């Protein structure tokens, strides 16, 4: 039985093929639980992980939780019907607690195995909703998840020739939405080069070429 009433059936026979990572951007976990379980708020997630690493199950994985909102990934919308949503107890500005990250690393393998979701299916809310969402934000340690085979991170450190058209094609092949250039670059950098500023460069191009290659493998 789901703790949160904010859910429904997955639509059109869809099943989870993504895991979307969020942060709560709230003062504490109890406040987040109240919001995620309030019918009038119409928002939820499948799991919430406390700063001490405790996992709170809110919605059964087989059901459609209301966590992603408007956006798309790999050219497809209704991300709620195609994903598992995980909220992390973090205010959006602070480092993620070590125990929280331990809890996430303990939770993800089972989800990925149950639904046969590959590592490239673990994305941030900001990835599927550029310009609208920034979570899990620049403090989230994607590289750590990748070391455990739970996400992707670039292995190479090189640069590619500056080619805006190729960068866009590779970013869309990886999964990012077809948004205007500045938003696309910001979304890619928030995921892979947080803190980087300035115009598109050869490192951005190399990263997306590598990520797109994973999708073609």
Quick one: pLDDT at residue 27? Answer: 87
* Paired strand residues for 134: none
Q: What is the mean pLDDT of residues 11-24?
A: 98
Residues 126 and 186 in one domain: no
- Please, are residues 71 and 177 in contact by the beta-carbon 8 Å criterion? yes
Residues 18 and 46 in one domain: yes
Residues 132 and 191 in one domain: no
Q: Output DSSP code: residue 140.
A: S
Quick one: pLDDT at residue 62? Answer: 98
Q: Per-residue pLDDT tens for 124-134? A: 999 999 999 99
> Above 90 in pLDDT, residue 87?
yes
Quick one: pLDDT at residue 168? Answer: 98
> Above 90 in pLDDT, residue 1?
no
Q: What is the mean pLDDT of residues 132-143?
A: 97
Active-site position among 61, 87, 180, 210 = 87
Residues 174 and 143 in one domain: no
Q: Say which range, 26-30, 97-101, 129-133, 199-203, has the weakest mean pLDDT.
A: 26-30
Q: Per-residue pLDDT tens for 98-123? A: 999 999 999 999 999 999 999 999 99
Cα separation of 7 and 42, whole Å?
Answer: 8
Report the domain count for the chain: 2
Quick one: pLDDT at residue 156? Answer: 85
> Above 90 in pLDDT, residue 10?
yes
Q: Which residues contact 159 (CB under 8 A, 6 or more apart)?
A: 201, 202, 203, 205, 206
Cα separation of 159 and 214, whole Å?
Answer: 17
CA angle 180, 20, 3 (to 5 degrees): 135
- Any idea which residue has 């994973």 for tokens? 214
Q: What is the mean pLDDT of residues 7-21?
A: 98
Cα separation of 61 and 107, whole Å?
Answer: 12
Q: What is the mean pLDDT of residues 25-44?
A: 96
* Paired strand residues for 64: 8
- pTM value surpassing 0.75: yes
Structural domain contains residue 37: yes
Secondary structure (3-state) at 21: strand
- Please, are residues 155 and 210 in contact by the beta-carbon 8 Å criterion? yes
Nearest to 83, CA basis, from 52, 51, 29, 45: 45
Cα separation of 88 and 49, whole Å?
Answer: 5
Secondary structure (3-state) at 112: helix
Q: Catalytic site residue 105? A: no
Structural domain contains residue 152: no
Share above pLDDT 90 across residues of the chain, in percent, rounded to a whole number: 96
Structural domain contains residue 64: yes
CA 110 to centroid of chain Cα atoms: 17
Mean pLDDT, all residues of the chain: 97
Cα separation of 191 and 125, whole Å?
Answer: 10
Residues 125 and 169 in one domain: no
Domain range enclosing 48 = 7-147
Residues 132 and 64 in one domain: yes
Q: What is the mean pLDDT of residues 24-34?
A: 94
């Amino acid at each position: 039985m789901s703790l949160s009433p904010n859910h429904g059936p997955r639509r059109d026979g869809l099943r989870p093929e993504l895991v979307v990572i969020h942060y709560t951007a709230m003062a504490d976990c109890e406040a987040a639980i109240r919001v995620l379980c309030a019918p009038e708020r119409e928002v939820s997630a499948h799991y919430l992980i406390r700063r001490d690493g405790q996992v709170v199950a809110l919605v059964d994985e087989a059901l459609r939780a209301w966590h992603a909102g408007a956006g798309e990934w790999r050219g497809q919308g209704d991300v709620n019907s195609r994903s598992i949503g995980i909220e992390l107890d973090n205010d959006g500005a602070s480092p993620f607690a070590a125990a929280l990250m331990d809890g996430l690393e303990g939770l993800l393998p089972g989800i990925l195995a149950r639904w046969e979701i590959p590592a490239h299916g673990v994305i941030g809310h900001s990835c599927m909703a550029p310009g609208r969402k920034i979570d899990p934000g620049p403090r989230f340690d994607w590289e750590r998840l990748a070391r455990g085979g739970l996400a992707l991170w670039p292995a190479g450190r090189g640069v590619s020739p500056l080619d805006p058209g190729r960068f866009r094609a590779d970013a869309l092949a990886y999964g990012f939405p077809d948004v205007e250039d500045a938003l696309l670059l910001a979304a890619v950098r928030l995921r892979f080069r947080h803190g980087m500023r300035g115009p598109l460069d050869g490192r951005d191009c190399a990263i997306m070429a590598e990520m797109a290659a994973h999708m073609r493998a």
